[in-house]
Structure 1
Amino acid sequence: MTNTRLQPGDTAPAFTRTADDGSTFSLADLRGRKVILYAYPAAMTPGCTKQACDFRDSISSLQDAGYEVVGISPDQPAKLATFKERDKLTFPLVSDPEKTALAAYGAWGEKKNYGRVVTGVIRSTFVIDEAGKIERALYNVKATGHVAKLRRDLGLDS
Protein backbone atom coordinates (compact mmCIF):
# COMPACT_ATOMS: atom_id res chain seq x y z
CA MET A 1 0.00 0.00 0.00
CA THR A 2 1.48 3.33 -0.98
CA ASN A 3 0.98 6.41 1.07
CA THR A 4 -0.32 9.49 -0.62
CA ARG A 5 0.68 12.32 1.64
CA LEU A 6 -1.47 15.40 1.86
CA GLN A 7 -0.01 18.80 1.07
CA PRO A 8 -1.03 22.30 2.16
CA GLY A 9 -3.95 23.45 0.01
CA ASP A 10 -5.35 19.93 -0.50
CA THR A 11 -8.97 19.38 0.48
CA ALA A 12 -9.15 17.50 3.77
CA PRO A 13 -10.69 14.07 3.06
CA ALA A 14 -14.22 13.91 4.47
CA PHE A 15 -15.12 11.10 6.85
CA THR A 16 -17.90 10.05 9.18
CA ARG A 17 -17.06 7.59 11.96
CA THR A 18 -18.20 6.56 15.42
CA ALA A 19 -16.81 8.61 18.29
CA ASP A 20 -15.81 7.53 21.79
CA ASP A 21 -19.31 8.25 23.15
CA GLY A 22 -21.04 6.20 20.44
CA SER A 23 -22.22 9.27 18.55
CA THR A 24 -21.59 9.80 14.85
CA PHE A 25 -18.71 12.17 14.20
CA SER A 26 -18.47 13.84 10.81
CA LEU A 27 -15.58 16.11 9.85
CA ALA A 28 -18.06 18.11 7.73
CA ASP A 29 -19.80 19.20 10.95
CA LEU A 30 -16.70 21.24 11.82
CA ARG A 31 -16.64 23.17 8.53
CA GLY A 32 -16.23 26.86 9.32
CA ARG A 33 -13.91 26.07 12.23
CA LYS A 34 -10.20 25.34 12.35
CA VAL A 35 -9.45 21.72 13.20
CA ILE A 36 -6.39 19.91 14.50
CA LEU A 37 -6.85 16.25 13.55
CA TYR A 38 -4.24 13.95 14.97
CA ALA A 39 -3.76 10.29 14.10
CA TYR A 40 -2.27 8.01 16.73
CA PRO A 41 -1.59 4.25 16.82
CA ALA A 42 -3.35 2.98 19.94
CA ALA A 43 -5.24 4.31 22.94
CA MET A 44 -3.70 3.82 26.37
CA THR A 45 -0.16 3.12 25.14
CA PRO A 46 2.55 5.27 26.75
CA GLY A 47 3.34 7.51 23.76
CA CYS A 48 -0.27 7.98 22.73
CA THR A 49 -1.26 8.76 26.32
CA LYS A 50 1.49 11.39 26.58
CA GLN A 51 0.40 12.97 23.29
CA ALA A 52 -3.31 12.96 24.23
CA CYS A 53 -2.56 14.51 27.63
CA ASP A 54 -0.44 17.21 25.96
CA PHE A 55 -3.41 18.09 23.75
CA ARG A 56 -5.69 17.99 26.82
CA ASP A 57 -3.37 20.32 28.73
CA SER A 58 -3.26 22.76 25.79
CA ILE A 59 -6.95 22.55 24.87
CA SER A 60 -8.06 25.88 26.31
CA SER A 61 -5.39 27.89 24.49
CA LEU A 62 -6.01 25.93 21.27
CA GLN A 63 -9.77 26.53 21.56
CA ASP A 64 -9.19 30.20 22.43
CA ALA A 65 -7.27 30.44 19.13
CA GLY A 66 -10.26 28.87 17.35
CA TYR A 67 -9.04 25.28 16.99
CA GLU A 68 -11.07 22.13 17.57
CA VAL A 69 -8.95 19.06 18.45
CA VAL A 70 -9.94 15.58 17.26
CA GLY A 71 -8.00 12.35 17.71
CA ILE A 72 -8.39 9.37 15.37
CA SER A 73 -7.13 5.80 15.72
CA PRO A 74 -8.13 2.24 14.73
CA ASP A 75 -9.37 1.57 18.29
CA GLN A 76 -12.98 0.56 18.91
CA PRO A 77 -15.27 3.23 20.48
CA ALA A 78 -15.43 1.38 23.83
CA LYS A 79 -11.64 1.47 24.18
CA LEU A 80 -11.64 5.15 23.21
CA ALA A 81 -14.28 5.85 25.87
CA THR A 82 -12.11 4.16 28.50
CA PHE A 83 -9.06 6.15 27.35
CA LYS A 84 -11.00 9.41 27.41
CA GLU A 85 -12.38 8.72 30.90
CA ARG A 86 -9.09 7.45 32.33
CA ASP A 87 -7.10 10.48 31.16
CA LYS A 88 -9.89 13.08 31.40
CA LEU A 89 -9.61 13.97 27.71
CA THR A 90 -11.89 16.82 26.68
CA PHE A 91 -12.01 16.40 22.90
CA PRO A 92 -13.54 13.74 20.62
CA LEU A 93 -11.71 10.52 19.87
CA VAL A 94 -12.85 8.89 16.64
CA SER A 95 -12.76 5.19 15.79
CA ASP A 96 -11.49 4.13 12.34
CA PRO A 97 -11.13 0.33 12.59
CA GLU A 98 -11.24 -0.07 8.78
CA LYS A 99 -8.43 2.52 8.57
CA THR A 100 -10.05 4.15 5.53
CA ALA A 101 -9.93 7.69 6.95
CA LEU A 102 -6.38 7.12 8.20
CA ALA A 103 -5.36 5.90 4.73
CA ALA A 104 -7.07 8.89 3.06
CA TYR A 105 -4.87 11.17 5.16
CA GLY A 106 -1.71 9.17 4.41
CA ALA A 107 -1.54 8.18 8.08
CA TRP A 108 -1.79 4.40 7.50
CA GLY A 109 0.97 2.46 5.81
CA GLU A 110 4.54 1.30 6.09
CA LYS A 111 6.67 2.79 8.82
CA LYS A 112 9.78 1.90 10.73
CA ASN A 113 9.25 0.57 14.24
CA TYR A 114 12.39 -0.27 16.21
CA GLY A 115 14.28 -0.71 12.94
CA ARG A 116 11.71 -3.04 11.31
CA VAL A 117 9.32 -2.04 8.56
CA VAL A 118 5.75 -2.61 9.73
CA THR A 119 2.32 -1.51 8.53
CA GLY A 120 0.42 0.68 10.94
CA VAL A 121 -0.68 4.15 11.93
CA ILE A 122 1.86 6.82 11.08
CA ARG A 123 1.63 9.32 13.95
CA SER A 124 0.50 12.47 12.12
CA THR A 125 -1.16 15.81 12.71
CA PHE A 126 -3.25 17.80 10.26
CA VAL A 127 -4.26 21.43 10.63
CA ILE A 128 -7.42 22.04 8.61
CA ASP A 129 -8.68 25.55 7.90
CA GLU A 130 -12.26 26.84 8.04
CA ALA A 131 -12.79 26.03 4.34
CA GLY A 132 -11.79 22.37 4.85
CA LYS A 133 -8.34 22.74 3.29
CA ILE A 134 -5.13 21.28 4.69
CA GLU A 135 -3.06 24.06 6.20
CA ARG A 136 -0.34 21.76 7.58
CA ALA A 137 0.27 18.03 7.19
CA LEU A 138 2.86 16.74 9.64
CA TYR A 139 3.93 13.09 9.38
CA ASN A 140 6.03 10.90 11.70
CA VAL A 141 5.64 13.36 14.56
CA LYS A 142 7.00 12.56 18.00
CA ALA A 143 4.56 11.69 20.76
CA THR A 144 6.47 13.85 23.25
CA GLY A 145 6.93 17.55 22.64
CA HIS A 146 4.84 17.62 19.47
CA VAL A 147 1.99 19.72 20.88
CA ALA A 148 4.43 22.34 22.19
CA LYS A 149 6.10 22.52 18.76
CA LEU A 150 2.71 22.72 17.04
CA ARG A 151 1.68 25.59 19.33
CA ARG A 152 4.90 27.47 18.45
CA ASP A 153 4.41 26.78 14.71
CA LEU A 154 0.83 28.11 14.90
CA GLY A 155 2.05 31.23 16.69
CA LEU A 156 0.16 30.45 19.90
CA ASP A 157 3.16 30.81 22.21
CA SER A 158 4.74 34.22 22.46
Structure 2
Amino acid sequence: MKPTVGEMAPDFTATIVDGENESEISLESLRGETVVLYFYPKDNTPGCTIQACSLRDNWDKIKSKARVFGISADSVESHRKFISKKSLPFPLIADTDKKISEAYGVSVEKSMFGKKFMGIERSTFVIGPDGQLVAILEKVSPTSHTTKLSEILG
Protein backbone atom coordinates (compact mmCIF):
# COMPACT_ATOMS: atom_id res chain seq x y z
CA MET A 1 0.00 0.00 0.00
CA LYS A 2 1.36 3.39 -0.97
CA PRO A 3 1.76 6.06 1.67
CA THR A 4 -0.29 9.20 1.02
CA VAL A 5 0.38 12.93 1.07
CA GLY A 6 0.41 14.21 4.66
CA GLU A 7 1.71 10.95 6.13
CA MET A 8 5.23 10.47 7.42
CA ALA A 9 7.44 9.00 4.72
CA PRO A 10 8.56 5.45 5.49
CA ASP A 11 12.08 5.55 6.93
CA PHE A 12 14.83 3.35 5.55
CA THR A 13 18.55 2.79 5.65
CA ALA A 14 20.22 1.89 2.37
CA THR A 15 23.39 1.91 0.32
CA ILE A 16 23.77 4.93 -1.93
CA VAL A 17 26.12 5.20 -4.87
CA ASP A 18 27.48 8.64 -5.64
CA GLY A 19 29.95 8.38 -8.49
CA GLU A 20 32.65 5.95 -7.43
CA ASN A 21 31.74 6.29 -3.74
CA GLU A 22 29.20 4.32 -1.78
CA SER A 23 27.88 4.82 1.73
CA GLU A 24 24.91 4.15 3.96
CA ILE A 25 22.14 6.71 4.36
CA SER A 26 18.87 6.82 6.26
CA LEU A 27 15.89 8.98 5.46
CA GLU A 28 15.82 10.14 9.07
CA SER A 29 19.34 11.56 8.69
CA LEU A 30 17.99 13.91 5.99
CA ARG A 31 15.42 15.62 8.25
CA GLY A 32 15.50 19.36 7.82
CA GLU A 33 15.89 19.04 4.05
CA THR A 34 13.42 18.51 1.22
CA VAL A 35 14.04 15.06 -0.24
CA VAL A 36 12.99 13.64 -3.59
CA LEU A 37 12.89 9.86 -3.99
CA TYR A 38 12.30 8.87 -7.57
CA PHE A 39 11.71 5.18 -8.20
CA TYR A 40 12.48 3.81 -11.64
CA PRO A 41 12.44 0.29 -13.13
CA LYS A 42 16.00 -0.34 -14.34
CA ASP A 43 19.37 1.28 -15.05
CA ASN A 44 20.29 1.94 -18.69
CA THR A 45 16.85 1.23 -20.16
CA PRO A 46 15.39 3.78 -22.59
CA GLY A 47 12.74 5.39 -20.35
CA CYS A 48 14.89 5.35 -17.24
CA THR A 49 17.79 6.91 -19.15
CA ILE A 50 15.53 9.69 -20.51
CA GLN A 51 14.27 10.39 -16.99
CA ALA A 52 17.72 10.42 -15.36
CA CYS A 53 19.28 12.54 -18.11
CA SER A 54 16.44 15.06 -17.90
CA LEU A 55 17.15 15.48 -14.19
CA ARG A 56 20.86 15.77 -14.98
CA ASP A 57 20.24 18.39 -17.67
CA ASN A 58 18.11 20.48 -15.29
CA TRP A 59 20.30 19.88 -12.24
CA ASP A 60 21.23 23.54 -11.74
CA LYS A 61 17.54 24.38 -11.18
CA ILE A 62 16.85 21.42 -8.89
CA LYS A 63 19.93 20.93 -6.68
CA SER A 64 19.29 23.94 -4.43
CA LYS A 65 15.67 22.93 -3.81
CA ALA A 66 15.97 19.28 -2.76
CA ARG A 67 18.21 16.28 -2.21
CA VAL A 68 17.42 13.89 -5.05
CA PHE A 69 17.89 10.13 -4.95
CA GLY A 70 17.06 7.66 -7.71
CA ILE A 71 15.99 4.23 -6.49
CA SER A 72 15.82 0.92 -8.33
CA ALA A 73 16.45 -2.73 -7.53
CA ASP A 74 19.72 -2.66 -9.48
CA SER A 75 23.01 -3.48 -7.79
CA VAL A 76 25.61 -1.04 -6.53
CA GLU A 77 27.83 -1.94 -9.51
CA SER A 78 25.01 -1.35 -12.00
CA HIS A 79 24.32 2.04 -10.41
CA ARG A 80 28.01 2.93 -10.52
CA LYS A 81 28.12 2.19 -14.28
CA PHE A 82 24.86 4.11 -14.94
CA ILE A 83 26.14 7.18 -13.06
CA SER A 84 29.45 7.06 -14.91
CA LYS A 85 28.00 6.40 -18.36
CA LYS A 86 25.40 9.19 -18.10
CA SER A 87 27.35 11.62 -15.84
CA LEU A 88 24.56 11.72 -13.27
CA PRO A 89 25.12 14.39 -10.59
CA PHE A 90 22.84 12.78 -7.99
CA PRO A 91 23.18 9.52 -6.04
CA LEU A 92 21.32 6.29 -6.70
CA ILE A 93 20.04 3.92 -4.03
CA ALA A 94 20.49 0.17 -4.48
CA ASP A 95 17.21 -1.39 -3.31
CA THR A 96 18.26 -4.93 -4.19
CA ASP A 97 15.99 -6.52 -1.58
CA LYS A 98 13.10 -4.23 -2.66
CA LYS A 99 12.28 -3.29 0.93
CA ILE A 100 12.15 0.44 0.15
CA SER A 101 10.07 -0.16 -3.00
CA GLU A 102 7.64 -2.28 -0.99
CA ALA A 103 7.43 0.29 1.83
CA TYR A 104 6.50 2.96 -0.74
CA GLY A 105 4.06 0.65 -2.56
CA VAL A 106 5.85 0.81 -5.91
CA SER A 107 6.83 -2.86 -6.20
CA VAL A 108 3.94 -4.01 -8.38
CA GLU A 109 2.91 -6.75 -10.77
CA LYS A 110 3.63 -5.78 -14.37
CA SER A 111 2.97 -7.45 -17.68
CA MET A 112 5.09 -7.49 -20.83
CA PHE A 113 4.44 -9.64 -23.90
CA GLY A 114 1.83 -11.57 -21.91
CA LYS A 115 4.22 -12.46 -19.09
CA LYS A 116 3.60 -11.18 -15.57
CA PHE A 117 6.45 -10.20 -13.29
CA MET A 118 7.17 -7.99 -10.29
CA GLY A 119 8.78 -4.66 -11.07
CA ILE A 120 9.06 -1.07 -9.90
CA GLU A 121 6.38 1.40 -10.93
CA ARG A 122 7.86 4.74 -11.97
CA SER A 123 6.86 7.03 -9.07
CA THR A 124 8.29 10.05 -7.27
CA PHE A 125 7.84 11.07 -3.64
CA VAL A 126 8.61 14.57 -2.39
CA ILE A 127 9.28 14.62 1.35
CA GLY A 128 9.24 17.84 3.35
CA PRO A 129 11.89 18.82 5.92
CA ASP A 130 9.62 17.44 8.68
CA GLY A 131 9.56 13.97 7.08
CA GLN A 132 6.00 14.23 5.77
CA LEU A 133 5.07 13.45 2.19
CA VAL A 134 4.16 16.69 0.39
CA ALA A 135 3.64 15.31 -3.13
CA ILE A 136 3.50 12.03 -5.03
CA LEU A 137 3.85 11.61 -8.77
CA GLU A 138 2.54 8.21 -9.87
CA LYS A 139 3.14 6.45 -13.20
CA VAL A 140 4.92 9.58 -14.38
CA SER A 141 6.19 9.79 -17.96
CA PRO A 142 9.99 9.89 -18.26
CA THR A 143 9.72 12.89 -20.60
CA SER A 144 7.49 15.01 -18.32
CA HIS A 145 8.93 13.96 -14.95
CA THR A 146 11.42 16.81 -14.52
CA THR A 147 8.85 19.46 -15.51
CA LYS A 148 6.28 18.14 -13.02
CA LEU A 149 8.89 17.83 -10.28
CA SER A 150 10.12 21.39 -10.92
CA GLU A 151 6.53 22.69 -10.60
CA ILE A 152 6.23 21.00 -7.19
CA LEU A 153 9.62 22.24 -5.95
CA GLY A 154 8.87 25.80 -7.13
Answer yes or no: same fold by TM over 0.5.
yes
CA distance in 2, matches of 1:112, 1:54: 26
Match of 1:54 in 2: 54
Output the amino acid matched with 2:103.
A
Counterparts in 2 of 1:73-112, with a 5 A limit?
73-112=72-111
Q: Which 4+ residue blocks in structure 1 deviate beyond 4 angstroms? A: 112-117
TM superposition shift of 1:112: 4.6
List per-residue Cα deviations over 1:62-104 (Å, max 9, x = no partner).
123x211110110110110110011110111000111010110
Output the amino acid matched with 1:56.
R
Number of residue pairs the alignment of both structures matches: 151
Which of 3, 6, 16 is the matching residue for 1:6?
A: 3
Is the Cα–Cα contact under 8 Å of residues 107 and 139 in structure 1 kept in the other structure? no
Counterparts in 2 of 1:141-156, with a 5 A limit?
141-152=140-151, 154=152, 156=154
Match of 1:19 in 2: 16
Q: Give the secondary structure class of the aligned counterpart of 2:82.
A: helix
Output the amino acid matched with 2:33.
R
Counterparts in 2 of 1:56-75, with a 5 A limit?
56-64=56-64, 66-75=65-74
CA distance in 2, matches of 1:104, 1:155: 23
**Normalised TM-score (structure 1):** 0.88
Identity of aligned residues (%): 39
Q: Give the secondary structure class of the aligned counterpart of 1:17.
A: strand
Output the amino acid matched with 1:43.
D
Q: Give the secondary structure class of the aligned counterpart of 2:140.
A: coil
Match of 2:41 in 1: 41
